[in-house]
Amino acid sequence: MWYDEMVRVVGRPKLVEERIMRIEIHRERCIGAGMCVLTAPDLFDQSEDDGCVVLLNPEPAPDRHEAAKQAESLCPSGTIEVVPDED
Ligand code: SF4
Protein backbone atom coordinates (compact mmCIF):
# COMPACT_ATOMS: atom_id res chain seq x y z
CA MET A 1 0.00 0.00 0.00
CA TRP A 2 1.27 3.50 -0.83
CA TYR A 3 0.40 4.76 2.66
CA ASP A 4 2.45 2.08 4.40
CA GLU A 5 5.37 2.83 2.10
CA MET A 6 5.07 6.56 2.82
CA VAL A 7 5.05 5.93 6.60
CA ARG A 8 8.08 3.67 6.23
CA VAL A 9 10.02 6.32 4.30
CA VAL A 10 9.00 9.61 5.96
CA GLY A 11 7.33 8.52 9.19
CA ARG A 12 3.78 8.76 10.41
CA PRO A 13 2.03 12.07 9.65
CA LYS A 14 1.86 14.31 12.70
CA LEU A 15 -1.41 16.02 11.88
CA VAL A 16 -3.48 13.55 13.89
CA GLU A 17 -1.24 13.81 16.95
CA GLU A 18 -0.94 17.58 16.72
CA ARG A 19 -4.64 18.40 16.72
CA ILE A 20 -5.65 16.33 19.74
CA MET A 21 -4.16 18.10 22.72
CA ARG A 22 -5.91 19.83 25.57
CA ILE A 23 -4.51 20.78 28.97
CA GLU A 24 -6.50 20.24 32.14
CA ILE A 25 -5.50 21.46 35.58
CA HIS A 26 -6.28 19.81 38.91
CA ARG A 27 -5.60 22.97 40.84
CA GLU A 28 -6.34 21.49 44.26
CA ARG A 29 -3.20 19.35 43.86
CA CYS A 30 -0.84 22.24 43.05
CA ILE A 31 1.95 22.88 45.55
CA GLY A 32 3.32 25.95 43.77
CA ALA A 33 6.63 24.43 42.76
CA GLY A 34 6.67 26.51 39.57
CA MET A 35 8.18 23.94 37.21
CA CYS A 36 5.35 24.52 34.76
CA VAL A 37 6.06 28.24 34.52
CA LEU A 38 9.76 27.64 34.04
CA THR A 39 9.05 25.06 31.35
CA ALA A 40 6.28 26.82 29.41
CA PRO A 41 5.66 30.42 30.53
CA ASP A 42 3.31 30.99 27.60
CA LEU A 43 1.03 28.19 28.85
CA PHE A 44 1.23 28.55 32.64
CA ASP A 45 1.54 31.25 35.27
CA GLN A 46 1.38 31.30 39.05
CA SER A 47 -1.22 33.20 41.04
CA GLU A 48 0.11 36.11 43.06
CA ASP A 49 -2.43 35.23 45.74
CA ASP A 50 -1.56 31.62 46.54
CA GLY A 51 1.30 30.68 44.18
CA CYS A 52 -0.77 27.99 42.52
CA VAL A 53 -0.87 27.41 38.81
CA VAL A 54 -2.92 29.52 36.41
CA LEU A 55 -3.58 27.94 33.05
CA LEU A 56 -3.03 30.54 30.32
CA ASN A 57 -3.79 28.44 27.27
CA PRO A 58 -5.76 25.17 27.52
CA GLU A 59 -5.40 24.42 23.79
CA PRO A 60 -1.82 25.14 22.78
CA ALA A 61 -0.68 25.36 19.19
CA PRO A 62 1.04 22.26 17.82
CA ASP A 63 4.48 23.76 18.24
CA ARG A 64 3.86 23.99 22.01
CA HIS A 65 2.58 20.46 22.51
CA GLU A 66 5.99 19.15 23.46
CA ALA A 67 6.40 21.88 26.07
CA ALA A 68 2.98 21.03 27.52
CA LYS A 69 3.92 17.36 27.77
CA GLN A 70 7.20 18.29 29.40
CA ALA A 71 5.41 20.48 31.96
CA GLU A 72 3.05 17.58 32.68
CA SER A 73 5.93 15.21 33.27
CA LEU A 74 7.88 17.68 35.44
CA CYS A 75 5.00 18.72 37.69
CA PRO A 76 5.68 17.02 41.04
CA SER A 77 2.04 16.91 42.14
CA GLY A 78 0.23 15.60 39.08
CA THR A 79 -1.65 18.87 38.68
CA ILE A 80 -1.18 19.11 34.92
CA GLU A 81 -2.90 16.64 32.65
CA VAL A 82 -2.51 16.60 28.88
CA VAL A 83 -5.52 14.87 27.38
CA PRO A 84 -6.75 14.10 23.89
CA ASP A 85 -9.40 16.48 22.59
CA GLU A 86 -12.68 14.68 21.97
CA ASP A 87 -13.40 16.61 18.73
S1 SF4 B 1 1.15 22.89 38.43
FE2 SF4 B 1 2.76 21.56 39.17
S3 SF4 B 1 4.65 22.48 38.40
FE4 SF4 B 1 3.05 24.03 38.24
S5 SF4 B 1 3.15 25.22 40.11
FE6 SF4 B 1 1.67 23.59 40.47
S7 SF4 B 1 2.81 21.91 41.37
FE8 SF4 B 1 4.29 23.31 40.44
Quick: pLDDT tens for 36-60. 999 999 999 999 999 999 999 999 9
C-alpha triplet 21, 17, 24: angle, nearest 5°: 15
Lowest average pLDDT, out of 3-7, 53-57, 63-67, goes to 3-7
Atom of ligand 1 nearest to the CA of 77: 7
Interatomic CA distance for residues 47 and 30, integer angstroms: 11
Write down the mean pLDDT value for the chain: 88
Going from N- to C-terminal start, the domains of the chain cover: 2-83
30 lines ligand 1 (CB under 6 A): yes
Distance of CA 52 to CAs 1, 24, 63, Å?
Answer: 51, 14, 25
Class of domain 2-83: alpha beta
